[in-house]
Amino acid sequence: HSNICNDPIHLNGRQQKSSIYCSSCSIHIGGYTSSPIIQLDIPTLTQITGIFVQNHNENQETSPKKGSYFLEYRRTQDGPWRVYGQRRQRKLFIERRRLFFNDNDNSNTTRTFLPSIVARQVRIIFITASTSTCAIIQLFGCQSQNGLISTRFSQKSIINSDIKYDGLITNSSVRGGLGLLNDGDTYQFLQWSPSPEPILLFFAFDSIKEFHSINLDLKCSVLFSSSCTLKINVGIL
């Protein structure tokens, strides 16, 4: 088993290899046309690092447009769908990113997600299609080791913005998503200014967990003080 998180992922109970999936047709409701969607179920909470999507329709060679799609995902079966995209500095919401099919010229290339996403379900929303679309799809990644589905903390005293966070960011709080606190990047940190009030960090998991240890990578900034004292209290809700 490779230590790199880039293994083929089981999708919808199928083997770990590329498979053909077909979407439903467009639906017309109240003058609005919904886009064809393919939903993929993953057996366990998974860190997804790459995707391969190739058009498999019979008329793909005669189509004047290259197929494109949006990607959405969620960590629990009853949780909110999240869009894959980019959060720009000082933006409260994530800008949806348009992705394109792999074609014959790059059929061996997988699209890498930066940052990777953690999900149990993924759905592909086809943009340029008006009828049922079939595609060869393969996801890559590895099983999530800790089952973490969201973190929550106050925005008060926060200095920098968590542009990797895929949840909701408001003027008062950050909640419902994952970001810098758990991405494993030892070069990027969340920064809080000195405050007499405690900083509360909440972590939610996909199931009941038994904890033997908790590792937190904490640093004191020399910009505010030459020395500092950190006191940590851990509680369970």
pTM: 0.81
Evaluate whether residue 215 is within a structural domain: no
Mean pLDDT of the chain: 79
Structural domains of the chain, count? 2
Evaluate whether residue 183 is within a structural domain: yes
* Predicted pLDDT at 146: 87
pLDDT band with cut points at 50, 70 and 90 for residue 1: very low
Residue 29 has pLDDT above 70, yes or no: no
Grouping H, G, I as helix, E, B as strand and the rest as coil, residue 11 is: coil
Asked if 66 and 100 touch (Cβ cutoff 8 Å), the reply is yes
Evaluate whether residue 212 is within a structural domain: no
Give the mean pLDDT of 172-189: 84
Domain with 197, as residue range(s), is 148-205
Asked if 38 and 5 touch (Cβ cutoff 8 Å), the reply is no
* Predicted pLDDT at 186: 74
72-107 pLDDT tens trace: 999 998 999 999 988 776 566 788 889 988 876 555
Evaluate whether residue 62 is within a structural domain: yes
103-131 pLDDT tens trace: 765 556 677 787 789 999 999 998 866 67
Contacts within 8 Å (CB) and 24+ apart, 100-103: 100/66, 100/67, 100/68, 100/69, 101/53, 101/54, 101/55, 101/66, 101/67, 101/68, 101/69, 101/135, 102/52, 102/53, 102/54, 103/54, 103/55, 103/66
197-218 pLDDT tens trace: 788 889 999 988 888 877 777 7
Same domain, 60 and 94: yes
Evaluate whether residue 40 is within a structural domain: yes
- In the numeric block, which tokens belong to residue 191? 């920064």
